[in-house]
Amino acid sequence: METHQTENYKNGRLRIRLLIGGSLVGLFSGLIAVFYRYTLGQIDGIRNFLFSDMTAAKGAGMLLAFFVLAFLMHRLLSWAPYSGGSGIPQIRGQLLGRAEIAPVPTLISKFFGGSMAALSGLTLGREGPSIQLGGTLAGLLADKAGVSHMESRYLVTAGASAGLAAAFNAPLAGALFALEEMHKSLSHYFVVPCIVSSVVANFVSFRLLGMEPAFSFPMERMLPVDFIWAPVAIGVLGGVFGVVFNKGLLATSARIKALSIPRYGVIFLAMALVFLFGLYNPLLLGGGHGLIESLADAPMAPRLLVLFFCIRLLLVWTGYGSGAQGGIFLPVLTLGALLGAFGHFVLPIDDIYYANFLYLGMAAILSSVIQAPLLSILLVSEMSGTMLQMISVTTAAMVAYLIAQILKSEPIYESLYDNMFAEDSRAGEPAYSMQYFLVPGDAPYIGIPLHRMHIPHHGMIASVQREGRIFTPNRDTTLEGGDEILLLIAEESLEAATEYFGGAP
């Protein structure tokens, strides 16, 4: 009885620490994500000004400046190797013990490298960098506070969720992303700090940037249930083109990686490509927020929608494949808006529902690309500022997800993670990671010697922390409620280990 009370007391203190830690992480991670978002917004205005009234001399000067930017980005990436791309696979690798990320170089490289990428017009988004900025800053704060490795992982996850929440003013989607995509678990030890940090980060965003949804255009009317076939059609389109996007991104990235030219040369070529299309229309450049808002204000002709979709698809593939600092979340949503606008044109639907189709396209293609339909539904609902379209948005997202499953497409972040850490699995051997677990007071294995425990797939307990003391267990060691254990296990067995130990990551 006394042991059970002690364990409850420890868990209660842990929950309080996570509540306080999640609040602080939400504040600081939210601040850096909001500052990054604001910076990119200002840079978008500068870029549009640079592309106005273009002359030959001005164009030559811009290309020379882009070469300098490409070289600086290359140097930042050499200094902080895990700062390239979206940052989401890197944070997951850090949480799984696969990546040792230097926090200060990564923060500097991600922020300034992403800003330079935006200035050049690379079609990369802010959400992945915001997630990595938030998670990395949270890890730095956790190290300074001297918390345990297990608590540090909770706070890094909370920082990542705060980053997404601030990037899109979507606190629930931010928390769900960190829980569903990074840990595949809804343990309350992660839920509490993630939700708190996301809400605090969203508060910071509202206070500094205004209380508005991520996009300014609302869905004015609910799509009648008699038109349910329309979200189904958009879901099919989104599902197919989401698969095309994933396969094209991975193939382009692999081909670019195989080129025998320096990385700064690759980045510059990607910049030169966006420069050429920027001369045609600057709306094609950047993350795509301005293009989505423009679509809402003035619908485009269908041929132009197809042209913009194809150009943006090419630019996202090459921009991300260059290794530059930037994500794909917002560019995917932009493709979805173009797809939804085209669907509205070809389907016999009243113009009053035009905005609905932009959001339906976003939900559909995002669900197909990341294969997290619940997250896609929640994110689009929060970005639009209404939950009233749940039936149509859910239909489009679920149909797209089903199409992606039928076509055997892998979730893009899973594929990017596997590609990034593929070198860790040699000769067909499984990749291993170190995971922390908290032993619940009512766990059935308490009091059983380790050599008699049936740990899934021969996982090995490397250390046990008990009442502030860390020791290496032996075959006769028994676990107690409240112990923090460090488990070495194959990544493919993490789900089984989580189910076995209960209440852990």
- Its pTM stands at 0.86
Q: Which CATH class is domain 1-209?
A: mainly alpha
CATH number of 225-421: 1.10.3080.10
Rounded to the nearest 5 percent, the helix, strand and coil shares of the chain are 70, 5, 25
The arrangement of secondary structure in 432-502, i.e. its CATH architecture, is 2-Layer Sandwich (3.30)
- pLDDT by position in tens, the chain (length 505): 445 555 555 566 777 888 898 999 999 999 999 999 999 999 999 999 998 888 888 999 999 999 999 999 999 999 999 999 988 889 888 877 777 889 999 999 999 999 999 999 999 998 889 999 999 999 999 998 888 777 888 889 899 999 999 988 888 888 888 777 766 556 666 788 889 999 999 999 999 988 887 787 777 788 888 899 999 999 999 999 999 999 999 999 999 988 889 999 999 999 999 999 999 999 999 999 999 999 988 889 999 999 999 999 999 999 999 999 999 999 999 999 999 999 999 998 888 999 999 999 999 999 999 998 999 999 988 888 777 788 999 999 999 999 999 999 999 998 998 888 765 444 444 566 667 777 777 778 888 888 888 887 777 787 787 776 777 788 888 888 777 887 777 766 766 777 777 644 3
Domains 1-209 and 225-421 agree in fold: yes
Rounded-to-integer distance, Cα 52 and Cα 444, Å: 69
337 touches 363 (CB < 8 A): no
Rounded-to-integer distance, Cα 322 and Cα 300, Å: 30
Spell out the alpha helix ranges (H) of 347-411. 354-370, 373-384, 390-406
437 touches 487 (CB < 8 A): yes
44 touches 117 (CB < 8 A): no
The structural domains of the chain, with segments of one domain joined by +, span 1-209, 225-421, 432-502
Rounded-to-integer distance, Cα 6 and Cα 374, Å: 38
485 touches 463 (CB < 8 A): yes
∠190-194-198 over CA atoms, to 5°? 175
Amino acid at 27: L
